[in-house]
Amino acid sequence: DTGVSQDPRHKITKRGQNVTFRCDPISEHNRLYWYRQTLGQGPEFLTYFQNEAQLEKSRLLSDRFSAERPKGSFSTLEIQRTEQGDSAMYLCASSLRGQDNSPLHFGNGTRLTVT
Amino acid sequence: AQKVTQAQTEISVVEKEDVTLDCVYETRDTTYYLFWYKQPPSGELVFLIRRNSFDEQNEISGRYSWNFQKSTSSFNFTITASQVVDSAVYFCALIRLQGAQKLVFGQGTRLTINP
């Protein structure tokens, strides 16, 4: 399978704990995105990378959130001191920067439940 | 600011009926892309179509067709002879051609096809 891969698929954690999610994009894609989706809503943009550079961060991304893409390949999203409001599906997507915007290809997501 | 509105929260039809999902968007940009994604119960967002703002030709792909009307800022999606497998949440989305690479989604329309 050469699609976008996310790990884990599900994560249940207690409030106050730290969690880290991983995303492996499609191998030739140089852009990587993180989105968050709550129940009944469309995905909301969190941040995106072009290669290893983080080019944009949403105001949704509080100080407790940090994303990295150290070698321009896989990416991690860490949430520190989780809160119940962080419960959501975290989606990763990748695309190829070219002369026009290639479609974003999404992974299956990581569903986070904070108890 | 960009905004995508999908006014239909839920639609339920009987198999073989035709169904149209509405999408209205707002943007100050003159160049942009519009997308439709399908999200089945498994959670993955599946890319269906991308349309450039310069290209107002309607498109047909099998049972799927899209009607892009720039004059009314609409990009509607029609499924002909619906099937149970079409049941999913469908999202319309918009991205600028230049500048911030942020895909803005609508709230989604939950489509249920009953046998």
CB pair distance less than 8 Å for B103 and A41: no
User: What per-residue confidence (pLDDT) applies to B97?
Assistant: 74
- Measured between beta carbons, which residues in chain B are less than 8 angstroms from residue A111? 43
Percent of chain A with pLDDT over 70: 96
Number of inter-chain CB pairs under 8 A, A vs B: 60
Could you read off the pLDDT of A97-108 as tens digits, one per residue? Answer: 765 567 889 999
Chain A nearest C-alpha distance from B11 (Å): 14
Confidence of residue B100 (pLDDT cuts 50, 70, 90): low
pLDDT for B5-34, tens place per residue?
Answer: 999 999 999 999 999 999 999 999 888 999
What span, in angstroms and rounded, lies between the C-alpha atoms of A24 and A16?
A: 26
How far apart are the CA of A86 and the nearest CA of chain B, in angstroms?
Answer: 18
- pLDDT of A56-81, one tens digit each? 898 888 899 999 999 889 999 999 99
| Residue A1: pLDDT band with limits 50, 70, 90 | low
Nearest CA in chain B to A91: B44
Q: Out of A44, A48, A91, whose CB is closest to B101?
A: A48
CA-wise closest residue to A110 among A94, A97, A93: A93
Judge contact between A47 and A54, C-beta under 8 A: yes
Where are any strands of DSSP class E within A1-115? 5-7, 10-13, 19-24, 31-37, 44-50, 53-57, 65-68, 75-79, 88-95, 105-106, 110-114
Q: Which of A8-12, A87-91, A95-99, B36-40 has the lowest mean pLDDT?
A: A95-99
Among A45, A48, A89, the residue with its CB nearest the CB of B43 is A89
Partners of residue A10 on adjacent β-strands? A111
- Extract the tokens encoding A68: 């990295």
Q: 3-state class of B72 per DSSP? A: helix
Higher pLDDT, A40 or A86: A86
Q: Given pLDDT bands bounded at 50, 70 and 90, which one contains residue A94?
A: very high
Best mean pLDDT range from A28-32, B35-39, B43-47: B35-39
B60 or B5, which is more confident: B5
Instruction: Decide if pLDDT at B98 tops 80.
Output: no
Q: Which residues in chain A have their CB less than 8 angstroms from residue B99's CB?
A: none
A113 contacts chain B (CB < 8 A): no
pLDDT score, position A98: 65
% of chain B beyond a pLDDT of 90: 73
